[in-house]
Amino acid sequence: MLSRDGKKILRGVNLEVGDREIHSIIGANGAGKSTLAYTLMGLQGYEHEEGSLIFNGEDISKLSITERARKGITLAWQEPARFEGLKVRDYLAIGAKDNGGATEEELKEALRKVDLKPEKYLDREVGETLSGGERKRIELASIITMKPKLAILDEPDSGIDVVSLKEIVNLIQTFKENGSSVLVITHRKEIAAASDKASLMCEGVILRSGDPLEISEFFKNRCIPCDSRVSPPKAA
C-alpha cells in the first residue's frame, strides 16, 4: 500500500511476475500504473508502506533504489532524465559497471538494438539537442547494457513514432530472450499483445490479471466508457 496526503494511492495490488515473463499493466490515466512502477523501484516518496514485496524469494521492501538495482531490478521512466554533459557512452557503461563493464562493441550493439547509429550517438551528450524519442531510446539502451533480471518499463513507446512500435515490441522480446522479466506499463494494444500476461489496474487496484488480449478487450469495452475515477468496474 502507498498513501499520499491521507489518500491511498495503491491499495489493492496483488501482482506476480514470473521468470522471463513479459507482463503488461494496462489502465486509464491516473489508475496508479506509474506509481506502481516507482514503488517497485523504491523511489523517494514512493516507499512501500504495507504488505510484502518479494523478489526471487527475498523481501526487498526495505531496500534502497541502489540495493534493488544491484539485485537486478531497474526502471525506464516514461520521460527520461536529461543529463547535461553526460556522454551517451558513459551513460550506457554505468549500467554494466556491476556486471564487469561493457565492451565498446556491446555499447554499440545496445544502440543498434534501439535503432540508433552508434557512430552518430555514442559520443553525443544525453542532454544535448536530442529529441525526447532519442533520449527514450538511449534510456532503453542503458537497460540493455545493464542486463537486469526485472526491467520495469513505464510506457516505453511514449514519444516514439508508431513506425517504431514494432522495434519496441522486438526489444521487449529481446529482454526476455536475454533472461529478463519485463513489467511494461502501456496503453498500446500491440505491446500488450506481445506480452505473456497482463493486469488491469484501476484506482490503485489490480482488478484482474490474465490473458493479455482478454484484458485489453476488457479495458477497451468496460473501462474506456467508464469514468473509472468515479466508479471502478467490478472485477469479473
Q: Which residues bind other proteins (CB under 8 A)?
A: 41, 43-44, 64-66, 68-70, 73-75, 77, 80-86, 90, 94-95, 97-98, 125, 127, 139, 142, 146
Mention every residue, 6+ apart, whose C-beta is less than 8 A from residue 187: 26, 155
Kindly report the backbone phi and psi dihedral angles of residue 205, in degrees, each rounded to the nearest multiple of 5, phi listed first: -120, 140
Least separation, in Å, of the C-beta of 130 and other proteins? 14
CB of 4 to other proteins, least distance (A): 16
C-alpha cell at 190: 500491440
Distance of closest approach, residue 11 Cβ to other proteins, in angstroms = 24
Residue 145 exposed, middle or buried by CB count within 10 Å (0-12, 13-18, 19+): buried
The C-alpha atoms of residue 115 and residue 141 are separated, in whole angstroms, by 10
Nearer to other proteins, 135 or 197 (CB): 135
CB of 170 to other proteins, least distance (A): 23
The H-or-E segment that residue 18 falls in is none
Q: Least CB distance from residue 96 to other proteins, whole Å? A: 9
What is the C-alpha R_g of the chain?
A: 18
For residues 33 and 68, which CB has a smaller minimum distance to other proteins in the complex?
68
Tell me which residue has cell 544535448: 128
Identify which of residues 14 and 66 has a Cβ nearer to other proteins in the complex.
66
Identify which of residues 97 and 112 has a Cβ nearer to other proteins in the complex: 97
The smaller minimum CB distance to other proteins, of residues 84 and 227, is found at 84
